[in-house]
A and B are shown apart, each in its own frame.
Chain A
Amino acid sequence: MPYSGWSGPQRVLLTMAVIVLSATAGAQSSTKPKSQVADSTPQFNHVLGLEDVKQNAKGKLTVDANGLDFQGAASHANVSIASIEDIFTGEDSHQTGGKVLTVAKMGVPYGGGRVVSLLTHEKFDSLTVEYRDENGGLHGAVFTMPLGQATIIKKQLIARGAKTSVPVDETGETKDAAPKEKK
């Protein structure tokens, strides 16, 4: 048997450490370009509600004369200003890194994954748009986006004539009353 210099548990620990480090690096490298892009064009995530657009599709959300426009990689949807009944903004937080990092964290011994969890969370804005279709049916589209973007989109929609029950005040903060995440 050749001498490797590492005992069994040491080898296991080393393997786990390599997995976690590579997963963390992967997660960071996949999020870094996004944050660089966020400076110019923020990444929007369509959570649900737009017809013909997949749930959790990423794309560009803009406001133009036709209304709210979502342009995904393989899909496109438009909500006209006249059909919008209400607009709400909110805030939440989630874990970054996706499933890869979640699985990697589970494999870290001695609760190391929990420590990684403390470092891999980020806050985000949510935008909810309630609108009616041509038959009068109520729809609700929910988007998530980088912090601060939801109020900008809401302001642009109101400026174009969209209705809302919650106005945007001078400081840009909306008065949406919703329970905040427990700390």
Chain B
Amino acid sequence: MSSQRAILRALMAAALMLALLAGGTALAQEKPAAKPAEKTAAKPAATTTPWAIQVEPVSAEEGKLPPDFAMAIYEKLIQEIWKTNKFQQVFRSGDRRATDVPNLLILTTKLEKFERGSQTKRAVTTVAGATRISVRAQLATRDSQIKADKTVQGTVRLFGENIKATQNLAKNIATLISQSSF
């Protein structure tokens, strides 16, 4: 009796595993089909917008934002803006090649609030110790025509090191830029 039950259980487990495997392979097969559609959608946007962008580092009052966070925001912003496929060129602050570019947008960010949390506090309490960065992001042309202006936040609430908040912030700014029209 007990051996019959054991066989039945083993069979059920095997069936469950097979169902999961089949589901996984079906999902994996569906994924490549979605990719070409994304690519074709991104291409016209890249050709119809001949804009370039220059990213400036975060401006903050002295001592309000640690330099590693400031530089992490700047570097990650450049990476995230590249990923949007919205600009022909992405220039760093001070890049001499940007002076000859006709359609140039300048991204400036000003620190509004920085709160350094603690990864240990987050792990122990799950509700306290969040790291929060709030900046005012402004996208403008050379002649100061503002194309986007919004306060954006980056946080790390539970998992990850404090500096992970910079990645979150950069992603949110890149989303703001990709959603704005110019």
- Which chain A residues have a beta carbon within 8 Å of chain B's beta carbons? 1, 47-49, 86, 88, 90, 92-95, 102, 105, 113-114, 117-118, 121, 126, 128, 130, 132-133, 135-142, 176-183
- Give 23 A-B contacts (CB < 8 Å), ordered by A residue: A47-B163, A88-B68, A90-B68, A92-B68, A92-B163, A93-B119, A94-B119, A102-B123, A114-B124, A132-B94, A137-B91, A137-B93, A140-B57, A140-B75, A141-B71, A142-B68, A142-B75, A178-B63, A179-B63, A179-B64, A179-B116, A181-B118, A182-B116
* Docked CA distance A82–B75 (Å): 21
Interface members, chain B 29-79 (any A CB < 8 Å): 57, 62-68, 70-72, 74-76
Bound form: Cα–Cα A178–B125 in Å: 25
Bound: A176/B75 CA distance, A: 21
Contact between A114 and B95 (Cβ–Cβ < 8 Å)? no
Determine if A47 and B68 form an interchain contact, defined as CB atoms under 8 angstroms apart: yes
B contact residues, range: 35 or more
A132 to B93, CA, bound (A): 9
A121-B163 in contact (CB<8A):
no
A92 to B123, CA, bound (A): 16
With a cutoff of 8 Å between Cβ atoms, the chain A residues found around residue B120 in the complex are 93, 95, 117-118, 121
Q: A95-B120, A121-B119, A135-B96 are in contact. Are A88 and B162 (CB under 8 A)?
A: no
Bound CA–CA A139/B114 (angstroms): 22
Complex contacts, A1 vs chain B, CB 8 Å? 2
B123 touches A88 (CB 8 A): no
With A136-B94, A137-B91, A178-B67 already in contact, the answer to whether A48 and B119 are too (CB < 8 A) is no
Asked, given contacts A48-B72, A114-B124, A138-B74, whether A182 binds B117 with beta carbons under 8 Å apart, the answer is: yes
